[in-house]
Amino acid sequence: MQYIFIVNSNIHKRRKKALEKAISSLPADLRHRSKVLYTDHPNHAEELAITYSETYGSECLIFACGGDGTVHEIANALAFRSSPMAVIPLGTGNDFARTLYPKEIYKKPLSILDRLETPMIHSIDLFRIDSYDYMGNHLPAWSRYSLNVASMGLDTLVQAKAKRTVAKHPKSLFIRRHAYSMAAISCLLNGWRFTMDYSIELETGEMIEKKNVPYSLVSICNARYYGSGFCPAPGAEIDDGVLNVCIVEDMSRGKALSQLMKYKKGKHVGQKGFSFYKSTSGIFTSLNSNMQMQGNYDGEDFFGHRVRYEVIPSAIQMAFFTE
């Protein structure tokens, strides 16, 4: 087995040095079968993953060494390919890894290197987001596979503000850890207004259709966490062929502030104002012709007047590591 470590060059220098030291300390045989590659432009992680997957096929394990953006790129590269993917969470949010690993490994990600030869390879689900403009034209630049969570509405505004904050303070680990929570409070204080139509296909095949729905946010979840630990779908499983969709009704700023911590901790399930669906596909349509929905998949921005999603069961091979 070849081990390909694709490292996001923008991760914190301390984490990068720790990764390099850990790889250089591997036994000689493993070290000789390991290759460390650094990204140097947007989508480079995806390009590298495709190249090495085509070279080695199922005989390589390709690691996403970074945050959820790096995971997103490599998942899109390896969808439907024979090369398994692995994750070493070294970025800001690392939310997909919260579902993937037990807490002991999540908090000590470099311990994964002690388990290189004993991964459990298992196929998991992806889901597809396709965006369309007001005239119904498909928008390929904003249509991708997602591994973790896609969302639209208030939380995307929060994420955009958080990313700007991190960009202004790239060396601060404190800012990286708390940027999303600080941005959430700021956006809640400033207010919002979103309205949509939607149709959702449930896992049973039943269709749910609603018109002119005011909402605060929508999350489409394959995994459980996003936004540096917010938990919109505490019951989500990444290999069940079903997506967990959470729609949060339009709330006053005061009410939203009171619900924020419940939503973060996954304690909002069953609360008034939150609708949950076990779904295989669906469509959300903005009711404002002058304003597209702003969303994100795995932390990467997308836009669309109409957004369609669909689960793709067992679409990617994933490496799991246990204690």
Joined tokens for residue 282:
């669906």
Q: What pTM was estimated for this model as a whole?
A: 0.90
- pLDDT at residue 171, rounded to an integer: 72
- pLDDT at residue 290, rounded to an integer: 67
- pLDDT at residue 282, rounded to an integer: 98
Pinpoint the residues of the chain covered by CATH 2.60.200.40. Answer: 126-314
- Distance between CA atoms of residues 219 and 282, nearest Å: 12
Strand partners, 7: 38, 65
Pinpoint the residues of the chain covered by CATH 3.40.50.10330. Answer: 2-118
Q: What is the CATH number of domain 126-314?
A: 2.60.200.40
- pLDDT at residue 191, rounded to an integer: 63
- pLDDT at residue 315, rounded to an integer: 98
Give 36-50 pLDDT, tens digit per residue. 999 999 999 999 999
Tell which CATH architecture fits domain 2-118: 3-Layer(aba) Sandwich (3.40)
pLDDT lower than 70: segments of the chain: 190-191, 289-291, 323
Name residue 192's amino acid. W
- pLDDT at residue 271, rounded to an integer: 84
Q: Count the alpha carbons within 13 Å of 154 in the hemisphere toward its beta carbon.
A: 27
- Distance between CA atoms of residues 89 and 103, nearest Å: 12
- pLDDT at residue 102, rounded to an integer: 93
Is residue 62 within 8 Å of 74, Cβ to Cβ?
Answer: yes
Joined tokens for residue 139:
């928008």
3-class secondary-structure state, position 9: coil
Give 140-186 pLDDT, tens digit per residue. 999 999 999 999 988 777 777 777 787 787 777 777 777 777 777 77
- pLDDT at residue 252, rounded to an integer: 75
- pLDDT at residue 96, rounded to an integer: 97
